Amino acid sequence: MQYLYKFEAMTTPCEVLLFCDDKKRADETAQAVLKEAKRLEKKYNYFAADSYLSALNRRERDDLDPETQNLLQRAVQYYRLTAQVFDITLATIKDLYRAQTSLETLHEAKERLVPFVGCEHFQIKKRRLSFDNPYTKIDLGGFVKEYAVDQAVKIIQKAKTASALVNFGGDIYALGKKPDGQKFRVGIKDPKNPKEFIRFEEIENEALTTSASYERYVTIEGASFSHILSKEEQTQTPSSVTVISKNCVESGVFSTALMVNPDIVTKNRVIIL
């Protein structure tokens, strides 16, 4: 039997498709996945004043639990692997795009803060987080949703379910094959017509994520800025990048980074449109 569960977490629609012969076990597994997603949402919400991440950014606390330390260390590793393109400290300039009303004030404000962007501006020692300036901020928003997918997969595996599809807002992991022996078939949207699929990929025990410039953006004085930020203004980027890898965090990091710099080297499967 197959059971489909839908909910919302981290401001995105989420789906968990379980192939299981026990509805009670399927329901309990889905509830555990939802609980974990909500836990991560509350803990690492960049915009919530009462989140653990916000307290770190305000320097009100510097203690790191093992999970947060691991996430930050992984983020630093990907910062290096992507030639400093994937950068959780881009949060330092993130709010400027919401606050500024003119291109002139945006560029002036960004010029002041860009020197404080970069993972080299924070350090982790003995489970303590320290910054070398008062301006650098961290946002795990482009990291935690994918981490939540990977955590969901672990919960499903622990429940001894061998076949499932987890989809958190387009961040997808296929566990095993479908009961009929076929791999999971996932569509990739046409950047020119997002209501249509331009191609399909078959995945098994793999993650697939797509980053796209058409999804979210802000407009200031007629100029559009993608939600995918970088230190330098991008003159031309791909319409979308899909990455298939061993886990959702890896796919998400590289699909985001390749949107900024398509020349980044990765051993993962990549579809650039």
Q: In this predicted model, what pLDDT tens digit does every residue of 141-183 receive, in sequence order?
A: 879 999 999 999 999 999 999 999 999 999 999 999 999 999 9
Whole-angstrom distance, CA of residue 258 vs CA of residue 84: 12
Residue 182 DSSP code? P
Q: Please report the pLDDT score of residue 2 as a whole number.
A: 97
Which helix or strand (DSSP H or E) is residue 43 part of?
helix 23-43
For the chain, the structural domain boundaries read 2-272
pTM of the complete model: 0.94
Contact status, residue 175 vs residue 153, Cβ threshold 8 Å: yes
Cβ atoms within 10 Å of 11's Cβ, excluding its own: 11
pLDDT at 213: 73
Q: Yes or no: say if 169 and 16 are a contact pair by the CB < 8 Å rule.
A: no
* pLDDT over 80 (residue 131): yes
Q: Is the pLDDT of residue 214 over 70?
A: no
Percent of the chain's residues with pLDDT above 90: 82
Is the pLDDT at 218 greater than 70, yes or no? no
What pLDDT sits at residue 97?
79
CB 20 within 8 A of CB 3: yes
Residue 132 confidence (pLDDT) = 98
Least confident of 38-42, 70-74, 213-217: 213-217
**What are the angstrom distances between the C-alpha of 127 and each of 55, 108, 149, 222?**
15, 36, 25, 45
Q: Is residue 93 a contact partner of residue 136, using CB atoms and an 8 Å limit?
A: no
- Is 226's pLDDT higher than 80? no
Q: Is the pLDDT of residue 222 over 60?
A: no
Q: How far is CA 170 from CA 103, 189, 215, 216, 222, in A?
A: 32, 10, 11, 14, 29
Angstrom distance (rounded) from CA 225 to CA 97: 8
Using one digit for the tens of pLDDT, what is the confidence trace for 48-98?
A: 999 999 999 999 999 999 999 999 999 999 999 999 999 999 999 988 877
Domain topology for 2-272: T-fold (3.10.520)
What mean pLDDT, rounded, does the chain reach? 93
* Cα dist from 15 to 20, 34, 79, whole Å: 16, 10, 29
Rounded Cα–Cα distance for residues 129 and 200 (Å): 42
Confidence of residue 104 (pLDDT cuts 50, 70, 90): confident
Output the six-digit token pair for 229.
């930020």
